[in-house]
Amino acid sequence: MLIHVTDTLPKPEFSPQIAHIAQAVQPFHVMKILAQAKALEAQGRSIIHMEIGEPDFASLPCVHQAASQAAAQGLTHYTPTMGLPALREKLAEFYGTFYHATVSANNIMITPGSSTALQIVLTALINPGDKVLLADPAYPCNRQFVRLLQGKVLAVPVTDEQGYQLSLQSLKAHWQAGIKAVMVASPANPTGTVIEQAELLAMAQFLAEKDAYFIVDEIYQGLVYGRPAESILAHDNLPDNVIVINSFSKFFGMTGWRLGWCVAPDHLIPVLDRLGQNIFLAAPTPSQYGALAVLEDEALAELEQRRQTFETRRNTLFNAMQQAGFSLKVRPQGAFYLYWDVSELTEDAEQFCADLLQAKGVALTPGRDFGDYQAKQHVRLAYTTEVDKLVLAVQYIREFVKAFKGS
């Protein structure tokens, strides 16, 4: 028997050398709440989960069938980096029927989740030192992606009076040299608010004149209430600076399948393709076959039912919170979130969330995850659970606040 000499030597010392840019990346603080909630559940406590930013519904059976059928047929190899041609065509068709937008399949890139689309698009645009303007609060990962590329984040505070969104006016007010791109989401996470189409178009035109890109995250489109689903791509006279991000995660209910896409102007397609080849090679093949099925009319009809369920939940939760005397300044028009100003109750939203969880078993997300501006005064409530649980949660929050105020 051969004995390797090295096996007998002591393990060499090694000092970790993690890159400082990676060291500076912030975690999702909600994971702490989630871990505490799970620990309480393990002790037998019942928890109402309103911290989770994904639909509670499982993905549709047609998705599972199409994906497993494809896998059984041996369709388990890489697709082209830009995505399965049939899926790109189907999405282009979907833009026509669902959004009344003319989009060419050639401009669509399929990615592993929209997270990768965001990362790859920013990689295509940002040189070290370039500035990216975005709202505070906003989806946290965007700031991290910009910093990983050594870009500079210009986080513009947005208030309830502004519907927690950037506008043409705020772009003009905060304009400065070196801004390479502006990022918005409509509807937004964590506020659920939208930017009207005329405003979005005006912002795109202003940015084109400034030679800056406009990255519009439409991942919560489809999940809008009392208004039609809309895409900025429906405008015929859109300048070539607009990039749309979307996903199968939220409206299509396929978070775990890790599939998203972006729609980019012609001049960006070759660089996105090259970056994709190097960064992820191709999005998961069975997921792409599953996605083909979810774009069929029957599946879309089921998703419309789910959208209505979310609308009922939003109405119930919003009304219950107001009846309980909690001031919600903005009625969100989409996604599955309410952003609640708790400044009358606490100066530390994170502690408030931790105490509420311990006392009443209701899990919420502290504002800190979404930025700095008034982050300690806000919490996000996700209505990704059933209506009766939402009603119960408001009752528990009310009892907690009563005891809290009394103490």
Ligand X SMILES: Cc1ncc(COP(=O)(O)O)c(C=O)c1O
Among 55, 83, 113, 137, binds ligand X (CB under 6 A): 113
Q: Can residue 170 be called a binding residue for ligand X (CB under 6 A)?
A: no
Long-range contacts of 270-274 (CB under 8 A, 24+ apart): 271/124, 272/82, 272/109, 272/120, 272/121, 272/124, 273/81, 273/82, 273/109
Q: Which residues of 193-202 are buried (b: 16+ CB within 10 A; e: fewer)?
A: bbbeeebbbe
| Closer residue to ligand X, CB minimum distance, 249 or 288 | 249
Q: Can residue 136 be called a binding residue for ligand X (CB under 6 A)?
A: no
Instruction: Judge contact between 156 and 166, C-beta under 8 A.
Output: yes
Cα distance between residue 89 and residue 111, in whole Å:
15
Q: Which residues contact 113 (CB under 8 A, 6 or more apart)?
A: 247, 249, 258, 259, 260
Report, in Å, the least distance between residue 5 CB and ligand X.
48
Q: Can residue 92 be called a binding residue for ligand X (CB under 6 A)?
A: no
Cα distance between residue 291 and residue 278, in whole Å:
24
CA distances from 223 to 116, 226, 249 (A): 21, 10, 11
Report, in Å, the least distance between residue 260 CB and ligand X.
4
- Quick one: which segment of 99-107, 111-119, 348-356, 386-394 binds ligand X (CB under 6 A)? 111-119
Report, in Å, the least distance between residue 321 CB and ligand X.
21
| Closer residue to ligand X, CB minimum distance, 205 or 384 | 384
| Closer residue to ligand X, CB minimum distance, 113 or 367 | 113
Report, in Å, the least distance between residue 53 CB and ligand X.
5
Q: Can residue 185 be called a binding residue for ligand X (CB under 6 A)?
A: yes
Fill in the DSSP letter of residue 224: B
Cα distance between residue 156 and residue 170, in whole Å:
8
| Closer residue to ligand X, CB minimum distance, 185 or 338 | 185
| Closer residue to ligand X, CB minimum distance, 170 or 189 | 189
**Contact pattern for ligand X over residues 51 through 70, marking x by CB under 6 A:** --x-----------------
| Closer residue to ligand X, CB minimum distance, 51 or 205 | 51
Q: Tokens standing for 260?
A: 């998203």
| Closer residue to ligand X, CB minimum distance, 114 or 333 | 114
Q: Residues binding ligand X: what is the number (CB under 6 A)?
A: 13
Instruction: Judge contact between 86 and 216, C-beta under 8 A.
Output: no
Among 193, 249, 346, 365, binds ligand X (CB under 6 A): 249
Cα distance between residue 60 and residue 385, in whole Å:
17
Cα distance between residue 159 and residue 164, in whole Å:
5
| Closer residue to ligand X, CB minimum distance, 251 or 400 | 251
- Quick one: which segment of 1-9, 56-64, 247-255, 295-303 binds ligand X (CB under 6 A)? 247-255
Q: Mapping DSSP to helix (H, G, I), strand (E, B) and coil, where does residue 403 land?
A: helix
| Interacting residues with ligand X between 189 and 228 (CB under 6 A) | 189, 217, 219
Q: Can residue 290 be called a binding residue for ligand X (CB under 6 A)?
A: no
Report, in Å, the least distance between residue 399 CB and ligand X.
30
| Closer residue to ligand X, CB minimum distance, 113 or 361 | 113
CA distances from 221 to 14, 82, 83, 247 (A): 48, 22, 21, 10
Q: Which residues bind ligand X (CB under 6 A)?
A: 53, 113-115, 139, 185, 189, 217, 219, 247, 249, 255, 260
